[in-house]
A = this chain, B = another copy of it.
């Protein structure tokens, strides 16, 4: 009897103790698709198991103050980069943090809010992978790297519809931000386990053809074995290829063309889905949503990330 009591209290202690959450970074430039990707992950994992937070809340200056500064909000000096890293480390060790809040609608810094860790913490933003200390907090790191014309279209659409800017203003901002994008945002790409590049299918610039995705799968984490379902020649629209990244490092690249047949993509989704084996996760049909449309490449990207999040949770 004493033995059993001891075992029970030990087990209870384990549950009650600060459990290390699984943490994923989704980095990328403005309008790279971070929020859309995140929304599907939260939906699939369940809101009650997730915390998603935006690294852009760690802006050091409000909008009015930034007008007098020689750099934009993309610059690390415009953000509390060290405090972001500190908070990520605290969350990773199961502690709560008092997160600053930047109000995008007013451009003001407002009262901070308590963030309590949960099973999964999704951190999206411009610079979550900038510092080494921040990177160390993550189990999985993602960089969204859409083809630049695609990102420009996305940014114009969002900022003119939801943020009250004119298309000319958005284009001018893209030009103004380009040097800092090159200096601080894009270098994060090389620290990502998964790089996702949405863009038009080469040779198909018809806007009616859905966007394709190219996923760089770095061997920095252990990816599911897709060689069976993606045997060479089996699919016209999806293939897995051993490749070299721009810097020469070996990677797998997974191409999913926008015109993939639903039947073919289901086979791939099924293969990844079966590797997950977590009954609490909602099936793939809640994935791939872009507004009212469904994107097969997005659904597959999200499924692959779910695989990694759930593997890390084991």
**Stretch touching chain B among A106-114, A155-163, A246-254:** A106-114
Residue of chain B at shortest CB distance from A83: B98
- Please tell me which stretch of A4-12, A89-97, A278-286 contacts chain B, meaning at least 4 of its Cβ atoms lie within 8 angstroms of it: A89-97
- Does A200 reach chain B (CB closer than 8 Å)? no
Q: Which of B82, B95, B100 contacts A112 (CB 8 A)?
A: B100
Expressed in whole angstroms, the Cα–Cα distance for A98 and B90 within the complex equals 13
Cross-chain contact of A98 among B62, B80, B110, B114 (Cβ < 8 A): B80
Q: Look across to chain B and name the residue whose beta carbon is closest to the beta carbon of A100.
A: B112
- Assess whether A86 is interfacial by the CB under 8 Å rule: yes
Set of chain B residues within 8 Å of A98, measured between Cβ atoms: 80, 83, 98, 100, 112
Residue-wise interface mask of A (64-90) relative to B, using a CB-CB cutoff of 8 A (1 in contact, 0 not): 000000000000000010110010001
A91 to chain B, nearest CB (A): 12
Closest chain-B Cβ to A89's Cβ sits at a distance in Å of 10
Chain B residues whose CB sits within 8 angstroms of the CB of A86 once the complex forms: 90, 95-97
The complex is assembled from copies of this chain, and their number is 2
Q: Would you call A97 and B83 a contact (CB within 8 A)?
A: yes
Inside 8 A of A80's CB, which chain B residues have their CB?
98, 114
Of the residues B82, B83, B96, B100, contact of A83 by C-beta under 8 Å: B96
Report the interface size class on chain A: 10 to 19
Taking a contact as CB atoms under 8 Å apart, the answer to whether A111 and B110 are in contact is yes
With A86-B90, A90-B86 as contacts: A100 and B111 at CB distance below 8 Å: yes
Give Cα A80–Cα B109 distance, bound, in whole angstroms. Answer: 19
Query: A111: which of B90, B95, B109 is its contact (CB, 8 Å)?
Result: B109
Distance of A88 Cα from B82 Cα, bound (Å): 17
CB distance from A46 to the nearest CB of B (A): 26
Residues of B within 8 A of A97 (CB): 83, 86
Q: Contact between A96 and B112 (Cβ–Cβ < 8 Å)?
A: no
Which chain B residues border A82 with CB–CB below 8 Å? 96
In the bound complex, what is the Cα–Cα distance between A83 and B98 (angstroms)? 7
A178 to nearest B CB, angstroms? 29
- How many Å from the CB of A103 to the closest CB on chain B? 10
Q: C-beta contact mask, A194-205 vs B, less than 8 Å → 1, else 0?
A: 000000000000
Query: A100 contacts which chain B residues (CB < 8 A)?
Result: 98, 111-112
Question: How many whole Å from A109's CB to the nearest CB in chain B?
Answer: 4
Pairs A–B under 8 Å by Cβ, sample size 6: A80-B98, A86-B90, A86-B96, A98-B100, A111-B111, A112-B112
Which are the 5 A-B pairs with shortest beta-carbon distances?
Answer: A109-B111, A83-B98, A112-B112, A100-B112, A98-B100
Beyond the given A98-B112, A100-B112, could you list 19 further A-B residue pairs with CB under 8 A, ordered by the A residue number?
A62-B111, A80-B98, A82-B96, A83-B96, A83-B97, A83-B98, A83-B114, A86-B90, A86-B96, A86-B97, A98-B98, A98-B100, A100-B111, A108-B111, A109-B111, A109-B112, A110-B110, A111-B111, A112-B112
